[in-house]
Structure 1
């Protein structure tokens, strides 16, 4: 006879660990199964190894889903400050970066250790190197077959993550299970991911590999003020990762390389420095290497004085820099994506509990659900909040 639990959680990442600790704290007989030999692999590599574990300013506006209201309930009932209270209770030092982004001061390992400690404190059982080979439901119970044996529970929480970074275990397992139980899946795509450029454009921009600069990037859906990084394959940096969440193949994107400048700034500079060249002005606001590339691209004279430029020509220079439009040839894919956009349809789940509307006792939390956050700690906050919502509802 398989051992019986109140709840089994599949996936020992951020959402799974959080769910296990919440369930166990409520006195539920809890089992966590993790296919890898270690817990929290994605936590460990996130934020350059320091884990951007939440964002103090997280609101529903920082998330994308086919149902823009679905995630409001869970996020409201478990705020960034509640997770921060947990972090502080363990004495974990952290630093705040731009826009409320909280990172571990020392190592992401502290977050994994904290969550594992919470599980152990309340007697949640954890089995590593244990893949769920088959899942079936008979009557009111779920049966999970593994190489270690078979386990039974009245409730099953899928916290299996998504497709990004296969080398640390990223896969579509949770999506497959949802389909097996007759649930619908929205289309999935890599998100928070670098862009690739067409060969013709890449030939010109590859010389800028390693150059970073602040920009405003936008499309017809949204705008971000972030840093952009030129790479040998295309474009990356926070600006690109952010806009990629709101981009579909074939769509164009626009970059403003001078987000804080106007034509009036250039005309005023010409008035004060009529004998200086256009590149001198631009180098005051942009990296030297980028200015050299841009002047060559636009065939701007480096010897003419600004006094020789008409207002019309100066306006074109500024307009071109503030409205550089391009169409990415694609993305770097799941290998480089931070998250998966799309997933288990929110139409299939209760927004309050994350339980399937079709299958009693079956829950989906974290990245596997069609809820994706912007860059900056928002996806971890969704992991904590969705796990808390599910964990609190287990009977």
Structure 2
């Protein structure tokens, strides 16, 4: 069988690529090993899909080449996708930090993408496993169990390794290696971090607090931290996890925008116990466990100035070393991927294999939490569809 373009992977980037290519008149076949479309979209944003972010810039992405994503993000912007959502009459709202969510359900976004593919006449092949891809004189041969396809271009949109229970595999990386494209180191990103059972984190499960968090080479993130039975999660931790490397410290300012020294100055002559003073600004259970871990608990008036200075410093710069992360099963995305040096930033096509494109999470472009990874999927998918 013959077609112009085969897109492998019917997730966010794949459906966007298929819609983009088919609506410019290309014959497109979209193949996915799963029967159900876009499971990652379906479960995202608590089922409401944080589909983009109004603050999208290249600075919100991690990559070995931080400039690579600029072209695609400029060619198809967050506003372009918002306009598409509006054309379909999908109700949405902005939460915080530019994050946009569907009012009703993530299914609205899946239906939109499916409709956009159908508008261009995309041929669907779900529940179909790829047996092999080979280069030919005129393009590529793609073999499935049921069919053999000849095409001019192949777009790999198979995602990363995150959330294997919904079908994630390393297929895209295998294809890249087959055709000689290098892969940068892979790791779970936007993922909860773990600590040893001996650490105090286990006893704080369920406690949440506002923190300024920092880890690895990345920026600080002011968001909530949630303590779990295995360690720490919450938006601030998910953000810094993308920059963190095993063995590195993370630093938490437990009182961002406040002054622990000033709090202690007001209370230093009182009979009140230190955890009770901190409970004015921190969850009581956390204040108690934190103090027990770092200093003898006694009335405020019995502490020396040096002791209180030490506590204040720990509150504003609590340094801890995670034992690891919860891995791909709990990661929202995969850090690393197809090396951007091997791809054209303008087209997403392989520099050395004409007609072979890589888009979305399989590429070494990883966005912050908050809709940035979906925007990369829309932008990279749309761009590849324009050139495939």
In structure 2, what is the equivalent of residue 237 of structure 1?
234
TM-score of the aligned structures, taking structure 1 as reference length: 0.95
In structure 2, what is the equivalent of residue 281 of structure 1?
277
Matches within 5 A, 1:337-352: 337-352=331-346
Tell me if structure 2 keeps the 8 A contact 1:267–1:311: no
Counterpart CA distance in 1 for 2:42 and 2:53 is 18
In structure 2, what is the equivalent of residue 206 of structure 1?
202
Specify whether residues 27 and 225 from structure 1 end up closer, same or farther in structure 2 by C-alpha distance, changes over 3 A only.
Answer: same
Report SS of the residue matched to 1:133: strand
Counterpart CA distance in 2 for 1:263 and 1:289 is 18
Matched, 1:390 2:388: no
Cα drift, residue 245 of structure 1: 0.4
Cα drift, residue 315 of structure 1: 1.7
Cα drift, residue 199 of structure 1: 3.3
Cα drift, residue 147 of structure 1: 1.7
Cα drift, residue 115 of structure 1: 0.3
Tell me if structure 1 keeps the 8 A contact 2:204–2:285: yes
Counterpart CA distance in 1 for 2:261 and 2:195 is 32
Counterpart CA distance in 2 for 1:251 and 1:73 is 33
Cα drift, residue 210 of structure 1: 0.9
Counterpart CA distance in 1 for 2:47 and 2:266 is 44
User: What is the CA deviation profile of residues 291-347 of structure 1, one whole-angstrom value per residue up to 9, with x for unaligned ones?
Assistant: 111122234435x1x344443332222111112111111111111111111111001
Report SS of the residue matched to 1:134: strand
Residue of structure 1 aligned with 2:364, choices 349, 370, 376: 370
Counterpart CA distance in 2 for 1:98 and 1:355 is 35
In structure 2, what is the equivalent of residue 51 of structure 1?
49
Residue of structure 2 aligned with 1:38, choices 31, 36, 39: 36
Matches within 5 A, 1:177-216: 177-201=175-199, 204-216=200-212
Tell me if structure 2 keeps the 8 A contact 1:52–1:101: yes
Specify whether residues 250 and 267 from structure 1 end up closer, same or farther in structure 2 by C-alpha distance, changes over 3 A only.
Answer: closer
Matched, 1:91 2:77: no
Report SS of the residue matched to 1:199: coil
In structure 2, what is the equivalent of residue 223 of structure 1?
220
List gaps (5 residues or longer) in structure 1: none
Counterpart CA distance in 2 for 1:264 and 1:327 is 25
Cα drift, residue 265 of structure 1: 2.5
Counterpart CA distance in 2 for 1:264 and 1:378 is 38
Matches within 5 A, 1:149-164: 149-164=147-162
In structure 2, what is the equivalent of residue 118 of structure 1?
116
Alignment coverage as a number of residue pairs: 387
Counterpart CA distance in 1 for 2:266 and 2:105 is 47
TM-score of the aligned structures, taking structure 2 as reference length: 0.96
Counterpart CA distance in 2 for 1:198 and 1:295 is 19
Residue of structure 1 aligned with 2:107, choices 106, 109, 113: 109
Counterpart CA distance in 2 for 1:301 and 1:92 is 55
Cα drift, residue 264 of structure 1: 4.1
Tell me which moved more, 262-271 or 169-178.
262-271
Counterpart CA distance in 1 for 2:146 and 2:36 is 16
Counterpart CA distance in 2 for 1:179 and 1:140 is 21
Report SS of the residue matched to 1:200: coil
Counterpart CA distance in 2 for 1:392 and 1:332 is 38
Tell me if structure 1 keeps the 8 A contact 2:201–2:232: no
Report SS of the residue matched to 1:61: helix
Tell me if structure 2 keeps the 8 A contact 1:266–1:314: no
Counterpart CA distance in 2 for 1:89 and 1:275 is 64
User: What is the CA deviation profile of residues 200-259 of structure 1, one whole-angstrom value per residue up to 9, with x for unaligned ones?
Assistant: 21xx32111111111111135221111111111111111111111001111111111111
